[in-house]
Every structure is written in structure tokens, then in C-alpha cells.
Structure 1
Amino acid sequence: MKVMEIIILSIVFTPAKALFDIGVGIADVTGPSAEVPFMGYANLDQKGRGIHLRQFSRAFVIGDGHVRLVFASVDVGMIGHGVREGVIQNLMRHYGDTYNEQNVIISGIHTHSGPGGFLQHMLFDISVLGFHKQTFDALIGGITRSIIRAHKNIVPGRIFFNQGDLLNVSINRSPKSYEANPEDERSKFAYNTDKQMMQLRMMSEEGSRPLGIINWFAVHPTSMNNTNKLISSDNMGYASLLFEEEMNPGKLPGKGDFVAAFASSNLGDVSPNILGPRCIDTGEECDELRSTCHGETGLCVARGPGRDMYESTSIIAGRLRDKSRELFEDQSATEIVGALKVIHQFVDMPNQEVIYYNRRSRSNIKAHGCLPAMGYSFGAGTTDGPGARAFGQGSTMDNPLWNRVRNLIHEPSSEQVECHGAKPILVPTGELNFPYEWQPSIVSTQLAILGSSPSVVVAAVPGEFTTMAGRRIRDAISEEIEAVVGPSGRPLAVAIAGLSNTYSDYVTTPEEYTVQRYEGASTIYGPHTLTLYLHQYAKLARVLVEGKTLDPGPQPPSIDPSTLISFITPVIFDSTRWGTKYGEVLEQPPAVAYPGEVVRVKFVSGHPRNNLRQEDTFLSVEKQRDNGEWDIVYTDASWSTKFIWMRTSFLLGCSEATVEWAVAERDAPGHYRIRHFGNYKYILGGIYGYEGVSNTFQVLNSHRKIDDSPLRR
């Protein structure tokens, strides 16, 4: 359906009275694109070498005249407390206490193709060579800008909700763990992953202008695998760009008024690689429990649906976009009316002891937390990104050799071993505090209720909940609200906003925990981690609907970034080869190109970390007008381009940048050129800009004669 048809349709079924104040904003958060390891796969060889898709923060401000809510979905692996704290401090400098710990939700989409070093916890940062302030500052600055833009764009508007099933996008990557859940519980669901896409559609007051969407769907953004070295927002981020491109015709990525957030949900055990895991050497099925081939972890890898990771990303993103658009056009969407409510509390998970009444089993469960620890299967990784070959998933027994290696760092206490039960401890992170905290003990928990009868609940959770863990959280919240206000007050839906505010790894059900696949081994507060969260989110729901308040809970430690360890080498200087200059073209494009071909241009470059060029670009593909002027048609945020950086001499500080543009059928015939923008660092100090431009070349849609008129030269 065309954009104008969508707008006309919206007018038809949109009432005339405004109920909410709504603002949307988008900003570039792209971090350092070269020589900084990516966060997600814990693969030190996966260091950035350029950009395929830029990272963005998509922010939404919603108010009812009394209460404000900020929801920001960010193209990043996850959100750490320090990042959220930095954003809130920035907002308070602008707006006082309008935006604060109570009402700001920041959720990472969980791409594994973005620079790391921003979480300020030793275990997470050491996997990417330590803390990196440039990444940290890039995220805080970009997220802040997106929220400020949303605040400035506030208009009276309306919100509509609907949901629908989306198939052929996700599989459960740990089915053996899922099958450990009670059969009577599993029988309630048709699938072993959640297939519902939940979506909020925001419209202007008169209904003539779509403002944006937020949807939640459970799938890992791991279509781009651990061999990728170009920054990418993966399937979820590309789905956002596809929807925004349609709604903002003629605008470059990240520059339009309409904002589409494809946000993370309970994706813990959900893979987009729908062809499933196979042994890469034989093509045979892997061992289902341990995800090994011939006893080796690294050979069992999940793939699909495309022929390579780029095609898989495009296919999954397209299916996500198509479903979202279907929901957007649905005339049966329910309007959300009534008040807005938000609540937040920090929780010290290891020190939690609760009696939780389980309505499903009609029994009380006594649960307590553990100091954080990672199990053996953590070392094995997943079928989306295998880890060390020495480990396999499903490890429930100690290994004396690995215990001796572990004990060189720190031997877990007997209390720690007993507390974690089925998990053999590989890294006792909660008992390690040198040089700083290895994993968080205090986490953020947050709940928002939009509207009242009907209402939609957004549960911001500090980790990766598995499919069944998310279902139990939804039930606990819905049942608690119903217990207070009656069946008529039961929410339309509870959306799990994953990887929000704090990152504390995974959350499985207690039954899944006993299997100790990767997700269970990475459930860091012990077998009753989920039980504690069920109690906490039920409490948040009850307090919120009763109109009461909670104490803020214990504050997480604020960390001075200057005290954190980093092994990432800084950029010392740049230089050029003898006889060349920055921006000089080393490889020119062909004279003519056709759809389906890739145009490549190579430039003498400086280091990309000299200037991240946020809200800008390292490249442009430009088309010439009839009057000789040039229009930018693609940047480094566009799917069809790649910015690839390579160091050619470490000692001399020389490097090259290659720009690739995949010409598509939709690209109009004409004359084009490619430009590269960058900055170099002088050895005696100072950073200076440069640019380079290729020869003009012609794009044809058929093999006809090249136009060689003087204007085009």
C-alpha cells in the first residue's frame, strides 16, 4: 500500500479527539567503526572494519498531561546502567526533573554488530578489550539527542494497539531446554517461540499524519554472524529503516519525521537462522543437547533463510516490516485511552528472598537470589555464534582441569556453588570485584501502563528472557492487575521490552535452568532468577494500579570512566604513502555500471575513529541533475552501500577506505559519482578533515550507448 493510501485510510478510522501528547525523534548513535571489537559474540577477532548500516536511537515521548514516559529503542547490543544514567543526567540539565529514573526506558535491540566497551562491568568489557569511552560517549550523546528531538516534536495525538502472528522468522535455538517446562504449560501454546508482534501506532490529533510505531517481536538480531566486521543494526534495525523509507519518501536514512522502532522482546532462546543448526563440515544435524559435531562446538552453526548473512538479514527484515505494515493498516486496531502510569525500582538481586505465590501451580515458592556466576555452557556460545571448542552446551558436571584453571582466578565459595545448584560455575563473577564489579548485582526494573480499560503494559526487563520466561512474566503482571481491578481491567497485552536499562545476561525458567544450555548457564542469579522477577513485576503492577509509591531501591554504583581498564589502542597519528594525499582515489569506478553490479572506489584515508561523523556520513553516492548539480542518493546508513576501512601500515599509520555500492533495479539511469569524507590526525596534534571524489560514471538499465556529453565529464 502506498504512503498516501495509508494516510487516507488512517483518517477514515481515526477519531477526532486527541488523548495523548506524543513526540518522536531519531538520532545517530554510531560508535567507532574501526579496530574496536563488537559486543555480542565475545569474539576478539570480530573487530570493526567499517559500516554497513549506521546505528540509530528511536525515541518516543508520551504524556497524558500529568505523567511523561520516554521509550527509546537503540540499535545497540544492550543498555548498561552507566549509559542510562548519563542520558538521564543530560536530560535533567535540559528539562529539570521532567525526565528521570522513574519514567525513562532505554532498550537495546540486541544487534551483535556494534562496537563494545560501554557496559562498565568487567566480564562484558573484557570480551571487547575493555571499556571504550568513545563508544560510551557516542551512545549517551546520540540517545540524548533522539529524546530531545522527540520532546521538541510533541503534538496532540492518539495511540492504537494491535497484534498478530508472524511465522517463518524465528526458531527456538534451545528446544531441549524449552521441553523441560511442564507439558501442561507447553500445551497452551502452538509454538515454542512467541510469534506475536505487538504494535503501537501513533497518529496526530486529526489523524492525518502518522507519527510513528513501536513494535515488539521476539527474535535475536543475529542474522549477521560472528564473521561480520561492518557495523550493522542487523534484521531489526534494517526493518526499521525499510518502514521509515516507505513513510519518509525522498529522505535519507535517519532524516525523516516518521519513526519506526522494532524493539526487542523475550528473545533469549529465539534465533532468526530458521534453517537451523547443522554441522558445517558434513551438513548433518548437530547433537541437539550439546550443539556439537563430532564433539566440537565450533562446527555446529545455524544458518538461513538466505544464502549468506546479508541475504538472511534482508529476508528477515523484510518479513518483519511486512507484518508491521499489515498491523499499521489494520482498521480493527484498538484505541488506547485513559491515564499513563510509570513505576521504577532498583533491586539487589543476590539479596532477594521472597515467598512467591504461583497461580499456575497454586503453591508458594520460596526463592532467593545468588551472587552472579556464569556456568560452563556459557563458554560454548550458541548455534548463532559458537564459542570455545573446549565447551559444549548442556554441561551440568564439573571438569577438574577447567576448575583448576578457574581457581587461578578465583575459586567459588561453597555457598556460591550450593546456591547455583545445577550450574557448574566457570566464572564466579559475583565474588570478583577487581579491578571493578564483573557483573551487576543491582538491576533496574520498570513498568508502564498506557491507558485504562483498554490498556497496554510495557515491562522493561534488564536482560534476555527466554520464550517461556517472558510468557510467565506477562501472566504474572496480567493476573496481578486483574486481582486488583477485576477482569475488566486486564490489559490488552503485556509487551516485554528486553535488554532495558541494565544488562544482566539471561533469564530462563527454573526448569530450563536445570538443562544448563547457554541460556541457563548465563542466568546469573541462580535457579530462581525468574521467580524473583515474577515477584518483583507483580509487585510493580499491584503498586502501580493501586496508585501507591515505592522506595527507589538501592542505587547501583556510579563508576568514574577514567578508572576503567582498556586495552584498545588509541589512534596516534595518520600518514599517507609517498606521493599520495588524503582523499586521493586509488581505484576508480568503471565507466558504466548496470543493476546487479557492485561499484567499488578506493581512497587514501585517515582513521575513522578521528571523527565518528555522527549525523553525517563517510561516503555519499551522488546523482547528477540535468543542470550539472549533484544530489545525494545514498550514504553509509543505506543498505546498498558499504564503507570498508583497512590499515595498510601500522608503523606508518597508513590506511585505505573502500566504498562499495550495489546498483539495484530501482536506481535511475544517469551519471553518478562516489565521494568519501574523513579526518586524519597529525602526528604533532590536531585533527583535520578531507574529502575525495571519484570519476563520474554512468548507470544504465540496459546495454545501450554511453552518454559522453561534456556536461557529464
Structure 2
Amino acid sequence: MASPAPSMAFLLSLLLFAGMCSLSSSDYLIGVGSYDITGPAADVNMMGYANSDQIASGVHFRLRARAFIVAEPRGNRVAFVNLDACMASQIVTIKVLERLKSRYGDLYTEKNVAISGIHTHAGPGGYLQYVTYIVTSLGFVRQSFDVIVDGIEQSIVQAHESLRPGSVFVNSGELLDAGVNRSPSAYLNNPASERSIYKYDVDKEMALLKFVDSRSGPIASFNWFATHGTSMSRTNSLISGDNKGTAARLMEDWFQQRAPVRTEMGEIPRRVSTLVSDMNKNHSRLLEIAASYKSSKGQPVTNPLDAKVRVRKDSSRSFVSAFCQSNCGDVSPNVLGAFCIDTGLPCDFNHSTCNGKNELCYGRGPGYPDEFESTRIIGERQFKKASELFNKATEQLKGRIGYQHAYVDFSKLEVSVSKPGGFETVKTCPAAMGFGFAAGTTDGPGAFDFRQGDDKGNAFWKLVRNVLRTPGPEQVECQKPKPILLDTGEMKIPYDWAPSILPVQILRIGQFVILSVPGEFTTMAGRRLREAVRSVLASSASKEFGNNVHIVIAGLTNTYSQYVTTFEEYEVQRYEGASTLYGPHTLSAYIQEFKKLATALVNGQTIESGPQPPDLLSKQISLLAPVVVDVTPLGVSFGDVKSDVAPNSRFARGGGAQVNVTFWSACPRNDLMTEGSFALVERLIDGGGGRWLPVYDDDDLCLKFKWSRPTRLSPESYGRIEWRIPDSASAGVYRIRHFGASKSLLGSITTFSGTSSAFAVV
């Protein structure tokens, strides 16, 4: 007897059930996203060095927010966002979470979302809410804030909407030549017995996650490695992701090139390759073609989308790679060491001075004296290690997704610390910065007569300090041996100068655990925190983790509260100790609170959320002048070429050949070109036919956009585009384009573009 035909509903149910069964307990739902957060490329002070003269004036390469989400099919999920920014910001985190709540309800909250900065010192500032961190940017900068909030939201939305079954793999390995300890005298104050456990005075391990879509294969990699984002110096004025942003760009390009059906610039028709080959054989013909394409007059862009032309945006790029920050507090990428710029001799070991002056002591990167080359080298070293770990990642993450989060008031926290013969209860302090803070570091020296390692201070600067606020005797005693230069935790005019309520957070993906910390832990401080959490996880009753647990510190996450040193390093009062806000027991407080989180994580407990941090957005003050008007000389239009390539120009690939073109431009603050580009290099495709293919934009390391005014307050401005021709560039005819937007006296914004004359690359 024949069986009855199954109904369509039954078949669909069967397929759905089979699909659910095929998703093993070790599989997750994974999604990734990436969005532009470059921000204002002019007039805004850069965040990191606190150098008021370091004002953005162009783009080295663009900044991005990169996100991943890992979820159980019907359970918990975590979202991690890595920002090409100096650090996370409390007010940014608050507003992002508000937007996520309006979109997704309680799916993404402060408990399971982490927002972390790579610590580049070459991004626009003004997006934090506490006075200390926005003084040099002349207060709050709404453009900086908005573009970061928008970018984080969009990266998470992309990751959420792309969620699909997949697996996550982990791998780790040593990277030996991308960081050195910039405060070795402080590190040596840690107990010898503890130092003997470790081979190096900085962490050399990189930990990497590889995300593999069950259908399409690898889609992302995120790694954590400790080195400062200070390959670019305190005098650089081009927006840049520094060494970690460079590594991310190299890794994403590497994956794009290795994919079977992709090339660096997309598939090039065979006829184009033939044309280029013919051109190589006939240089004179190539020059003749180039000469027929003159520079165009600047003109308004009738279709605004034309100004958003971007190589990577149009290339269906889907692979996301993020190089996240870890416990980088005392780790410098300037691996050649610190030297006096007047004598060339090594700086003083204990104080990093030269004849008593900190201003003369600078660290040298591997490309010294070229900071762009140092940035590339340190970025390339991280990329090479990451690509190696990516290719060899075989350990699959298995197990539950989990998270714990709490807000803690670090200004008055009781902490139980071990003492000979037992335990003692001590307290943290309201935030304060010491004299050694003003000395800066070998990555970016300070000024005047400050020096690292100062545990006394001096009378003159104490008088200056007292104009703002005189610390009371209780605060002085609590912060010892730090001499207080700025009592920021007790300064409230016009609003809070420093945070007191900080977020602490643990994210778990199977046997991989992320400790989200709102500051810069030094090497040994990070080691102590990791080991404290490891001991809790390993001793849990469930034995779920055992020894098979990977723990990373995600530094500068969710908000920012400067440095965290060990008690012993704090005693030395170098820059890092002087910048440890909450006193000598700050690290012990973190360890205490993270052990609570770890215990709750393994026991499935609910932990008290703690006091909410303040939302100070309504109190923000901005003194940055707006763009008033952009003008050009009579007879000149925006986008016109001011300085063109020479007629019949021919440039050879490799050897450092560079093409420079300057356009009449307007202030980049008029249009941030988010997900677009200020600069573009195009290659002629159809010989004399006139079709041009975008091949490089201002997200490429070989292309720089530099903006300037002839005088400080002039309404006229220039956009200079510099293209250093890569060895990999195809021979052919090229031109350079500039996109921008001008502001009229009445406030209207008009986009424009300009084009150089064509030139030959042979």
C-alpha cells in the first residue's frame, strides 16, 4: 500500500528540524560589521598626547568601528566593538546603548556589549564627557561624538543582521618585536620572585579569534595584543589608526587578495590586461594617451553619491579584521629605545630625561626617523603574526556564552589586601594625577620642569594647582606617595573632571574569556588580573574551564580612567603610576571586583548592577569655532587644480616614486565623507575611450590627503594629495581626484570635485 504524500508543511518542518539538529552544541550564530568613524579631518585637536598644537589636517588612512556578535541559537549573546579611536567613552557607550535599546529592546545592554579603543593617538578628540579629556580639544566636539556613535551603532546593526550559523576558533602565539617596556625602572620594582616567572618585561602573546561562517567560510578575525598606538608622534596631524589600524588594513587586504575570485582591485577584464601589456611595450604611446586627459575644472557634484566613491565600499568586501588593545600601559612600539635628541645618547634610565629635561627624550620606532614607516613596520609585524595564527587556528570554542557586568564607585571602595600575618582593609581614593603625569612618556614627552619618578612635587606648581583646587589632607594621605598635581576627582566645575563610577565586565565565548577594563593596565598589572580570574575559573565546582581557558584583557573599554599599575610600580611614580587615578590600591580593587564577576559567571549568579555613571551630555561646553565660510580667489572654483603634475609625466613603479597634486579646497568639516573619500586615484580602462576605474582611496596606506590654509584664519584652503606609487600598481594611465564640500556665507553646503591631468605609470 502506498504511503500518503507528505504535506508541504510537514516537509518544511522536517527541513527546519534537520537544520537545527545539524547545528551542534559547539556551533554559534556569528555576525560581523564594519563602519567608518573617521570624523573631522580639520581644526580638531587629536586625542592622546594632550598636545594643544596637534590639530587634525588631513587623512593618513580612515578609521573604522569593527564589531562581532556571537550568540547561542536560542540563548545568550555578546557583542564586541573595536574602535580605531584612542579609547572608549562613557557618554558614547551610554548613547549607543540607548539606540540599541530602541532597535532591539533588551537584546543588547551594558552587560553584554563591550566597546573598546585601539589607543591610536591620531584620531579626533572631543568625544569624551569628562573635563580632563577634552580640555585640549576646546571642549566637546559634536562631530567627533556623532560619527563614533553612528559608526558603532551601524557596525552592530550589520553584525546583527548578518547572524548565521558558524564556528569560532582560537589561536595564540608570541610576537617578539612589536613592543618594549617604556618604564623598565618601574617594572623592576615588582618582586623579583614574580618577575622570574615571566621571560619578558612586556607581554608578547597575541590571542586571535577566527570566525568561520558555516556556508561561506572565514568572515573575520579579532586579536588582542599589547602595544601602544604611538608609532605616530605628537606632532603628526593626519588622522590615522596608527600601527593597529595599519595591521587591520593589511589583514583585510591580505584576505581579499587570497580569496579565489578576488584581486586587489576586483576582477580586471582580459582586454584591459592586454592593453596594459601593450602600453608597457610602448611608453611613448602611453604618454600620448595621458597627455590627452587634462585636469578638469572644479565643479559641483550634481549627484551627492558621486562624492562617496570609494574603492573598498564598491568591492563587495566582507572580511573584517580587528587588532584590539590589551594591557598596553607600559608598552611602547618604539622598539629601538629612547634617546636624547640633542646628544643621541640613551635617556636617563630612572627618569627618562636628558640633562634633567624630559622634552629631549624620545623613543625611536623601527623606521626612525620616518614615523609613517615605523607605523607601517609595527603594523606589518602584528599583521604577519595574526595571519599566521589565523591560518593555523584549529582549536574550536565550545560551550556557553556568558557575561557579567557591574558599575563600581572607585573613589571610595573598600578593598581587602593581603599583608604579612593576615589581611587589611584599605580604600581607594577620589581621582588625582601626580606630577609625573605632566612629564609625559618617551612616546610623547611633556614640558616645563616635570619629570617621571617625581614623588615630591615642587612648590611653584603646587601654587598653580591650588588655584584650581587644593587637595585636602585625607586625599593627600590616601594618594601617597603620589604628589598631587591635579585633584581631578574632587573638581566639579563646570562639571566632573574625572570619572568615579567605572564599568567592569567579563564576556565569555566557550573557553575564551574577555576582561573588559576601562583603562590602561601595565604589563604586570594585567598579568595579576588575568591570573586572579584564572584561579577563580579553574577552581569552580563545575570544573567547566579547568586549564583549558584563554583569558585576554581588552583595554580602554566602555569608558576611560587612565592607568592601572601594580602597588610596587605606583611607588616609583613614573608616568603610569602618576596617572593611576584612584591611589596605590587601584589594581587590588580591580582584582577584587573581577573575582566577584568571575565567581558569578561560573555559578550562574546575578550580580548587583551598582550605581549608574552620570550622563553629562547636556552639560558639555564647546569652544571650537564653527566653519564660517569657504572661498576661492577670483576666477578659481572649488576643486580646481592649484598644482598639477607636469605635462607628459611618467613615473616608475617602486623606488618610492610619488605623485603630488594640490587642489583648491574647502574645510573637511563641511562633509566628513563618511564611507566615502576625500582622495581617489583612478586608472584609465578603455584606452582613449574614457572609462576610469577607482583603484586607491584615502583608506590606502599609499595615499595621503593633506589639508591646509595659507594663513591660520584664512577662508581659503588647499587639499594636497600625495600618492606614493606601490610596487604592485599596474602600469597604465592614471589621474588623481579630490572630493570636498564648501560652505557659503549663508550656510549652505555644496559638494565639489576636481581632477588632475593624467600621467603614466610604467
Interval of TM-score (by shorter of Structure 1 and Structure 2): over 0.9
Q: Secondary structure at the match of 1:448?
A: strand
- Counterpart position of 2:491: 432
- Counterpart position of 2:39: 31
- Counterpart position of 1:327: 389
Q: 2:53 aligns with which of 32, 37, 45?
A: 45
Inter-CA distance 623–363: structure 2 relative to 1 (3 Å threshold)? farther
- Counterpart position of 1:260: 321
Q: 1:63 aligns with which of 68, 71, 78?
A: 71
- Counterpart position of 1:234: 242
- Counterpart position of 2:661: 601
Contact 1:22 1:156 survives alignment (8 Å): yes
Offset of residue 486 of structure 1: 6.3
Distance in 1 separating the partners of 2:122 and 2:78 = 29
Write out per-residue CA displacement over residues 127-159 of structure 1, whole angstroms, 9 at most, x where no aligned residue.
222111110111101111111111111110001
Offset of residue 356 of structure 1: 4.6
Write out per-residue CA displacement over residues 160-194 of structure 1, whole angstroms, 9 at most, x where no aligned residue.
11111110111000001000101100000000000
Q: 1:90 aligns with which of 86, 92, 99?
A: 99
Q: Judge which range, 591-600 or 580-589, deviates more.
A: 591-600
Q: Secondary structure at the match of 2:606?
A: coil
Q: Secondary structure at the match of 1:676?
A: strand
Q: CA RMSD in A?
A: 1.5
Amino acid at match of 2:153: T
2:473 is the alignment partner of 1:417: no
2:211 is the alignment partner of 1:202: yes
TM-score of the superposed pair, with normalisation by structure 1: 0.93
2:656 is the alignment partner of 1:648: no
Q: Judge which range, 480-489 or 188-197, deviates more.
A: 480-489
Q: 2:552 aligns with which of 483, 495, 499?
A: 495
Distance in 2 separating the partners of 1:408 and 1:424 = 16
Distance in 1 separating the partners of 2:442 and 2:740 = 38
2:227 is the alignment partner of 1:219: yes
- Counterpart position of 2:451: 392
Distance in 1 separating the partners of 2:348 and 2:86 = 28
Distance in 2 separating the partners of 1:684 and 1:322 = 51
Matches within 5 A, 1:569-584: 569-584=625-640
- Counterpart position of 1:707: none
- Counterpart position of 1:586: 642
- Counterpart position of 1:143: 152
Offset of residue 593 of structure 1: 1.5
Offset of residue 357 of structure 1: 5.8
- Counterpart position of 1:480: 536
Q: Secondary structure at the match of 2:750?
A: strand
- Counterpart position of 2:199: 190
Write out per-residue CA displacement over residues 24-74 of structure 1, whole angstroms, 9 at most, x where no aligned residue.
010000110101110000111110110011110000011013111110000
Offset of residue 16 of structure 1: 8.5
Higher-RCO chain (CA-CA 8 Å, sequence separation at least 6): 2
Contact 1:356 1:535 survives alignment (8 Å): no
Inter-CA distance 572–447: structure 2 relative to 1 (3 Å threshold)? same
Between structure 1 and structure 2, the one with the greater Rg is: 2
- Counterpart position of 2:269: none
Distance in 1 separating the partners of 2:118 and 2:759 = 38
Contact 2:740 2:751 survives alignment (8 Å): yes
Amino acid at match of 1:279: C
Alignment: residue pair count: 678
Distance in 2 separating the partners of 1:253 and 1:468 = 40
2:308 is the alignment partner of 1:248: no
Matches within 5 A, 1:261-410: 261-307=322-368, 308-330=370-392, 333-356=394-417, 364-410=423-469
Q: Judge which range, 346-355 or 464-473, deviates more.
A: 346-355
Contact 2:417 2:425 survives alignment (8 Å): yes
Distance in 1 separating the partners of 2:312 and 2:359 = 36
Write out per-residue CA displacement over residues 64-92 of structure 1, whole angstroms, 9 at most, x where no aligned residue.
13111110000000011100111111112
Offset of residue 548 of structure 1: 0.6
Offset of residue 487 of structure 1: 5.8
Distance in 1 separating the partners of 2:499 and 2:132 = 10
Q: Secondary structure at the match of 1:257?
A: coil
Distance in 2 separating the partners of 1:416 and 1:16 = 57
Write out per-residue CA displacement over residues 476-501 of structure 1, whole angstroms, 9 at most, x where no aligned residue.
10101122236662352210000000
Distance in 2 separating the partners of 1:651 and 1:517 = 40
Distance in 2 separating the partners of 1:354 and 1:468 = 19
2:206 is the alignment partner of 1:181: no
Q: Secondary structure at the match of 1:576?
A: coil
Offset of residue 338 of structure 1: 1.1
Distance in 2 separating the partners of 1:265 and 1:486 = 29
- Counterpart position of 1:104: 113
| Percentage of pairs with the same residue | 45
Offset of residue 566 of structure 1: 2.1
Distance in 1 separating the partners of 2:728 and 2:23 = 38
Return 5+ residue gaps in structure 1 as ranges. 1-14, 701-713
Q: Secondary structure at the match of 1:351?
A: coil
Distance in 2 separating the partners of 1:365 and 1:128 = 42
Distance in 1 separating the partners of 2:623 and 2:344 = 39
Q: 1:625 aligns with which of 667, 682, 685?
A: 685
- Counterpart position of 1:162: 171
Inter-CA distance 651–406: structure 2 relative to 1 (3 Å threshold)? closer
Write out per-residue CA displacement over residues 419-449 of structure 1, whole angstroms, 9 at most, x where no aligned residue.
0011000000011000010010001110011
Amino acid at match of 1:46: Q
- Counterpart position of 2:19: none
Distance in 1 separating the partners of 2:77 and 2:67 = 13
Distance in 1 separating the partners of 2:518 and 2:232 = 24
Write out per-residue CA displacement over residues 95-139 of structure 1, whole angstroms, 9 at most, x where no aligned residue.
111111111100000000001001111011002221111101111
